[in-house]
């Protein structure tokens, strides 16, 4: 099941609702007004089905909103072998840190965004004006409920300023946290197992002036760490009363001579979820 956070395009009250997406992804059936409430249920699929009310609404008539409410967004790094290699190449002084963390018991985890700063589908992502090398990072995003259980997943974009991160590891927050640096969407897939998710593919396509300037693909199964392992470290000495979203790292890295340009159209697709589309702007 796919849960959509939306509002009607011409509703003067701007009321936000949650709905379940039809199999053909053309209609939405309302099932309440709280995504968090559904994800906190013992069985989110059953809770959404029980809350379903009213007739289906055409998806084309709705504004799809970022699929977060009060959840913080965190991220894991260096969880794919390709990511480890890229981080080591970009960092002149700290390469061994990336090598060590890939093999370490404890993963790299860092704060990414408050819910208010999350960008949704068809919104703009940011290019730091003080960066020469900003790239999208396509990632599977996991939803953990307040009890630390994975209850859903969506598409994530951990936009990063690679030159700033590579200059000094202490600059990581500046490389990772800025306006438009975190995008999620278009909706949340619930009711699937980790084994099923690991069979999915992740793809990235970037278009500039109507031409494809980069495309790449990887498999979720290449993710080194298990979901429960990431959750165990994320929840260690942490309390997330509304649950939390965790970006799980990227396995698709554009070449070193590539950087986002203003106007670039970025599309990240994960089979089993959908496609997150955003346009890049300077911030």
Range with the poorest average pLDDT among 7-16, 120-129, 265-274: 7-16
- Angle among Cα 174, 177, 180 to the nearest 5 degrees reads 130
Identify whether residues 38 and 91 lie together within a single domain.
no
Q: How far apart are CA 264 and CA 254, in angstroms?
A: 14
If pLDDT is split at 50, 70 and 90, which confidence band does 95 have?
low
Identify whether residues 116 and 155 lie together within a single domain.
yes
Identify whether residues 203 and 86 lie together within a single domain.
yes
Identify whether residues 111 and 31 lie together within a single domain.
no
pLDDT surpasses 70 at 86: no
* Domain-terminating residue out of 64, 82, 115: 64
Identify whether residues 82 and 47 lie together within a single domain.
no
Count Cβ atoms within 10 A of the Cβ of residue 253 and give its class: 0-12 exposed, 13-18 middle, 19 or more buried: buried
Identify whether residues 44 and 154 lie together within a single domain.
no
Identify whether residues 140 and 18 lie together within a single domain.
no
Q: Would you state the structure tokens that stand for residue 218, as one six-digit string?
A: 């990887």
Identify whether residues 247 and 129 lie together within a single domain.
yes
Q: What is the pLDDT of residue 97?
A: 79
pLDDT tens readout for residues 149-199: 999 999 999 999 999 999 998 999 999 999 999 999 999 999 999 999 999
- The CATH number that applies at residue 117 is 3.90.850.10
Looking at the structure of the chain, the number of domains it has is 2
* E strand spans, the chain: 2-8, 17-21, 27-30, 57-58, 62-64, 72-77, 108-113, 124-127, 134-135, 138-144, 150-158, 160-161, 182-189, 201-208, 211-219, 244-250, 265-270, 274-282
If pLDDT is split at 50, 70 and 90, which confidence band does 96 have?
confident
* Domain-terminating residue out of 20, 41, 64: 64
Identify whether residues 53 and 144 lie together within a single domain.
no
Query: Taking the model in full, what pTM does it have?
Result: 0.93
Identify whether residues 167 and 39 lie together within a single domain.
no
Q: How far apart are CA 47 and CA 50, in angstroms?
A: 5
Mean pLDDT of the chain: 94
Identify whether residues 142 and 220 lie together within a single domain.
yes
Residue range 220-243: average pLDDT?
A: 97
- Residue-number span of the structural domain to which 157 is assigned: 72-282
Identify whether residues 140 and 243 lie together within a single domain.
yes
* Domain-terminating residue out of 42, 64, 86: 64
Residue range 11-32: average pLDDT?
A: 94
């Amino acid at each position: 099941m796919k849960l959509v956070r939306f509002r009607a395009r011409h509703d003067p009250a701007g009321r936000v609702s949650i709905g379940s997406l039809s199999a053909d992804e053309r209609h939405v059936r309302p099932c309440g007004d709280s995504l968090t409430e559904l994800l906190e249920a013992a069985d989110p699929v059953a809770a959404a089905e029980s809350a379903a009310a009213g007739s289906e609404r055409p998806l084309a008539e709705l504004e799809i909103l970022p699929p977060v409410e009060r959840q913080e967004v965190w991220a894991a790094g260096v969880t794919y072998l390709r990511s480890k290699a890229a981080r080591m190449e970009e960092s002149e002084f700290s390469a061994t840190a990336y090598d060590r963390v890939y093999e370490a018991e404890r993963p790299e985890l860092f704060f990414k965004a408050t819910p208010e700063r999350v960008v949704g589908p068809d919104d703009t992502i940011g290019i730091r004006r003080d960066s020469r090398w900003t790239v999208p990072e396509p990632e599977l995003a996991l939803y953990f409920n307040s009890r630390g259980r994975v209850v859903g997943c969506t598409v994530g974009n951990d936009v990063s300023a690679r030159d700033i991160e590579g200059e000094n590891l202490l600059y990581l927050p500046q490389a990772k946290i800025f306006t438009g640096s975190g995008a999620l969407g278009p909706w949340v897939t619930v009711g699937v197992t980790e084994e099923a998710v690991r069979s999915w593919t992740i793809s990235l396509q970037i278009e500039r002036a109507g031409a494809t300037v980069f495309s790449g693909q990887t498999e979720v199964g290449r993710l080194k760490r298990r979901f429960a392992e990431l959750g165990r470290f994320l929840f260690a000495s942490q309390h997330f009363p509304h649950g939390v979203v965790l970006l799980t790292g990227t396995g698709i890295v554009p070449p070193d001579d590539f950087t986002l340009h203003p106007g670039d159209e970025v599309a990240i697709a994960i089979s089993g979820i959908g496609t997150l589309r955003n346009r890049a702007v300077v911030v």
